[in-house]
Amino acid sequence: MADISIIGAGSWGIALALLLHKNGHCVTVWSIMEAEIEMLRTKREHKDKLPGVKLPDDMEFTTDLESAVKGKELLVLAVPSPYTRSTSHSMSPYVREGQLIINVAKGIEENTLFTLSQIIEEEIPQAEVAVLSGPSHAEEVGRGIPTTIVVGAKKKHTAEYLQNIFMNEVFRVYISPDVLGIELGAALKNVVALAAGIADGLGYGDNTKAALITRGIAEIARLGVAMGGKFETFCGLAGIGDLIVTCASMHSRNRRAGILIGQGYTMEQAMSEVKMVVEGVYSAKAAMGLAKKYDIQIPIIEQVNAILFDAQPADEAVRNLMLRDKKIENPLLPWEETE
């Protein structure tokens, strides 16, 4: 049994807290919001973000960051990506040398173009940082729906330790050394999911969504490999797996926000209506910054940025994609020589 703290009491943090408790671990959940912690203590349920998922009486909840961090075997960092840096900065004085932190949020910081693990390593240099990602909606994990994810860590023994901590009969865990690829797949798929939602909001069909998923993973892999990620990662759970579930499910806040934008809502109106952090909005500009830095073409993500930040009509963005220059799908495949 491990003594574990979940730093962040959103839907994903709560779902993982319940999973880890069922695995026999001692679990504490931290939130900066007093009202949220009081609700969890008294109702034993997150009424706003994970209704119907009951939490055990011996799970602890606190707003005291020092007590949540000190002396824990594992810290699970589950705050939304825009708050990763500030939360890590606040945690750092209480984190011991060699402390294991696993980040479960998804995103890229716009001004630095850092992945979330890179942010954590900068703010908490004494910690060992791993990541967890894959097709895993909190609403389903909280209900014990069979789910498969991947843990990324630089050291194999760290990944194997985390595999043992999280894995059970309904939560299968694979391991990988490609931390960068996992994080890039996790962050960039949210931008493509916005595009898929926009297509739904415009009234398009399965053909359109299949095209966005397929060409979307091509963009993600192209950029990810240029940055040093491994192509195999983008073919796996943290790549195409997470992209499929995020583009197809109404659990996806990115897809829901995209649907509203496709129906004519502004970005701000859509985010307000969803009532949760829409990670793809925060990663979209960062993705363009990375594409420029590495000289990679990402036309779908480019059009999402134009819709979000340049007031381009969604249907015009679709036309721009459809009328791009003619392309070969895979330039590496050889042609039979003919006259």
What is the rounded CA–CA span in Å between residue 235 and residue 1?
34
Gyration radius of the chain's alpha carbons: 20
State mean pLDDT over 233-238. 97
pTM equals 0.93
Model pLDDT for residues 262-317, shown as the tens digit of each residue:
999 988 898 888 877 788 888 999 999 999 999 999 999 999 999 999 989 989 99
d(CA 233, CA 226): 13
**Residue at token pair 């716009």:** 110
Helix (H, G, I), strand (E, B) or coil at 174: strand
Domain edges within the chain? 3-177, 180-322
pLDDT score recorded for residue 280: 87
* 70 labelled catalytic: no
Other C-beta atoms closer than 10 Å to the C-beta of 255 total 29
Helix (H, G, I), strand (E, B) or coil at 112: coil
Partnered with residue 173 across adjacent β-strands are 149
Question: Reduced to 3 states, what is the DSSP secondary structure of residue 8?
Answer: coil
Q: What is the mean pLDDT of residues 51-60?
A: 93
Does 3.40.50.720 match the CATH number of domain 3-177? Answer: yes
* DSSP-derived 3-state class of residue 129: strand
Map residue 236 onto helix, strand or coil.
coil
131 pLDDT band (50/70/90 cuts)? very high
pLDDT tens figures, 155-208: 999 999 999 999 999 999 999 999 999 999 999 999 999 999 999 999 999 999
- Rounded to an integer, what distance in angstroms lies between the CA atom of residue 196 and that of residue 193? 5
Candidate list 49, 72, 106, 189, residue with the active-site label: 189
Instruction: Collect all residues with Cβ–Cβ distance below 8 Å to 200 and sequence separation of at least 6.
Output: 209, 255, 258, 259, 262
Between CA 205 and CA 211 the distance in angstroms is 10
Indicate the class that CATH gives domain 180-322.
mainly alpha
The helix (H) or strand (E) run that includes residue 86 is helix 84-91
Task: Return the bridge partners of 168, or none.
Answer: 171
Percent of the chain with pLDDT over 70: 99
